[in-house]
Amino acid sequence: MFTIEHDFDATVITLMDEGAPRLQEDVTVHAFEDCVTVEQYDPREDRVQRITLSLAQVRDLGAALNLPEGMYRLRGTPDGG
């Protein structure tokens, strides 16, 4: 299950794990104009863990989800690939 909210400066997507006997904490994705953050509460450390992805990394991640094992570079990337 997930929710989508449009805030002033970001789109916020929350993913809720409802399918396994040992549920994981919710994952919150904040999509900003120039980056995307992914957050999840870590009960072992009692704090939220956050990673930040550039928009190029998000694009590559989306493409990678549908590709077989290997090394890839998408055409038209900012580095000229």
Q: pLDDT tier at 22 (50, 70, 90 boundaries)?
A: confident
Residue 75 CA from chain centroid, whole number: 22
pLDDT of residue 45: 96
User: Structurally, how many domains does the chain consist of?
Assistant: 1
- Cβ-Cβ contacts under 8 Å for 29 (sequence gap 6 or more): 12, 13, 14, 15, 36, 37, 38, 39
pLDDT of residue 77: 55
Average pLDDT over residues 24-46: 96
Backbone angles phi, psi at 64, to 5 degrees: -65, -30
Q: Is residue 77 part of a domain?
A: no
- Enclosing domain of residue 46: 2-64
Q: Is residue 13 part of a domain?
A: yes
**Residue length, the chain?**
81
Residue 34 CA from chain centroid, whole number: 14
27 vs 66, higher pLDDT: 27
